[in-house]
Amino acid sequence: MARGSTPTRLALALVIGAAAGPWFNLTRPTPLDALLNALALALPPLLAVLMAKARPNGALFRVGLAVALLVIILPLGDLLLNAIQGRPQLDTLFVVGMAVVLCPLIAAFSVGTRGARLGGTVGLALGCGALAWVGMGLHNLLVPLLLGAYSRSGPSGDFGDLVFATLLIFYLVGFALALLLGVVGAALRLWLARPAE
């Protein structure tokens, strides 16, 4: 997954975002949404390490550990916090929201690096983060708009314009976070790929 030209890597980042997008449901997320989000986050970095030409010792283990921290430990921490507060349940909204935030990081981690230094790959990492965010938005902003979900006769009723404007602002602000997470994802990949000493 980490091989290929820059356009191929950018296209893969868009696909990673588009794969996570359908399971981004902040209104009524189900356990299935949470599970599919976890899979959409876990598979790309593991595949990227498996397909890399030269794998340093322990790289797959370190990536697996990093993915486990993101998609297993954070939801378990949320479950523990809820149990302490007297509500022992998994907050599916937290899991789905986590996937939304981490998708640009995962995309840049998986396909947004070239070489061994961050300086030479920052542009690619930024592009991967942004395109993963665009991929998320295809399912949650563009497709509902084209299907009339934000019209006065759609599910959002008389507030369709307001709902669309609010989501549009959310996605535009999210681009800044996606760019930052793209760089963080590339830096994390380079750090984890260092040869073991």
Q: Which residues of 174-195 are buried (b: 16+ CB within 10 A; e: fewer)?
A: beeebbebbbbbbbbbbebbee
pLDDT at res. 3: 53
Q: What are the angstrom distances between the C-alpha of 46 and each of 23, 42, 83, 122, 125?
A: 20, 7, 31, 21, 18
pLDDT score, position 2: 47
Q: What pLDDT shows up at residue 89?
A: 73
Predicted confidence at residue 130, as pLDDT, reads 93
pLDDT at position 180 is: 93
What is the amino acid identity at position 186?
A
Q: Alpha-carbon distance 197 to 182, whole Å? A: 27
Nearest to 15 by CA among 116, 103, 123, 124: 103
Cα dihedral 82, 83, 87, 91 sign: positive
Instruction: Specify whether the CB–CB gap between 3 and 51 falls below 8 A.
Output: yes
Tell me the whole-structure pTM to 2 decimals.
Answer: 0.76
Q: State which residues of the chain have pLDDT below 70.
A: 1-4, 22-29, 53-57, 90, 92-93, 95-96, 147-161, 163, 195-197
